[in-house]
């Protein structure tokens, strides 16, 4: 980590920090993608159940690219508030208390 004159090699340190940040970013996106897929699956199942009962089923608000981007970017916020309000990170109208 040090060059010949005893000072730290800033490029190596920067490269390691960058690798760690990239790894954390990829983990964040992977968890967000998993959150989106699971939440979408639960929401589709809830919609089918409500439709079968003859209840009103609200239409999807956002097209899939925007929905995916919002879920991947904001999954920690959604999960926190879903647990706070409904007790599950994958809240749907069927999970309301």
Chunk the chain into consecutive blocks of 10 residues (it has 97) and report each block's average pLDDT, rounded to whole numbers: 67 91 97 94 93 90 89 93 90 81
Entry pTM? 0.79
Cβ of 8: how many Cβ atoms within 10 Å?
10
Looking at residue 13, its pLDDT comes to 87
Residue showing tokens 């439709």? 51
Say how far apart CA 37 and CA 47 lie, in whole Å. 15
Looking at residue 97, its pLDDT comes to 59
In sequence order, the β-bridge partners of residue 8 are: 2
Say how far apart CA 6 and CA 10 lie, in whole Å. 12
């Amino acid at each position: 980590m040090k060059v010949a004159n005893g000072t730290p090699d800033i490029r190596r340190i920067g490269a390691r920090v960058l690798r760690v940040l990239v790894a954390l970013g990829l983990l964040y996106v992977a968890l967000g993608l998993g959150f989106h897929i699971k939440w979408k699956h639960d929401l589709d199942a809830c919609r089918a159940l409500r439709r079968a009962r003859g209840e009103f089923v609200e239409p999807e608000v956002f097209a899939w690219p925007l929905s995916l981007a919002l879920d991947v970017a904001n999954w920690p916020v959604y999960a926190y508030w879903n647990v706070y309000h409904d007790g599950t990170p994958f809240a749907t109208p069927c999970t309301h208390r």
